[in-house]
Amino acid sequence: AYEPEPFGLLDARQALALRWQGLGHGIEPSRIALSASTSEAYSQLFKLLCDPGDEILVPSPSYPLFEHLARLECVTPVPYRLEYDGQWYIDLDDLRAARTSRSKAVVLVSPNNPTGSVTHAGELAAIAGLGLPLISDEVFARFLFGTATSRFRSALVLEDTPVFVLDGLSKSLGLPQCKLAWTSVSGPDR
């Protein structure tokens, strides 16, 4: 029987909700959407959050595909700096300065590709303070080096900020051809 489910098979979304529950986050299956890849998820989120000509704030250095994906959706990627002084960190002053009236979301990648930098709880709180939705790419979250005690486990901890967490099978399984991804949504019901 043909029974389309626009957000993906309910069984798969229920399994992901159980996974989140095991990690301490109560995400309902109705707040999880499956996609063919995180690239597709970015495209969907840019369409959802932005009108043509709007901006998204993206880390620099970071994954070079952001610019391409944003431009395909007629969205302008505006970089915010990651700085290095023995360890990588978000230049929060630069992030705040990059925000304009056209800024519609902040993209965060933790651990970052290619720096390996890990976002810390204070940085996450500062990002939430911008009052913009957060797109948190957490596909490399299982691949941390050393210990990072102040690192947040997931941006899903934010309660007053719309958060879209991206994850997928290709990185977690180490199988680049396995392209199933998902977006988990948290934040205020409104």
Sole residue written with tokens 């309660």: 159
Taking only the tens place, the pLDDT of each residue in 148-190 is: 544 567 899 898 999 999 999 887 787 878 889 999 999 998 7
Q: Could you tell me the sign of the dihedral formed by the alpha carbons of 178, 33, 152, 130, in that order?
A: positive
The SS3 of residue 188 is coil
**Amino acid making up residue 20:** W
More confident residue, 2 or 126: 126
Q: Per residue in 90-105, pLDDT tens?
A: 999 999 999 999 999 9
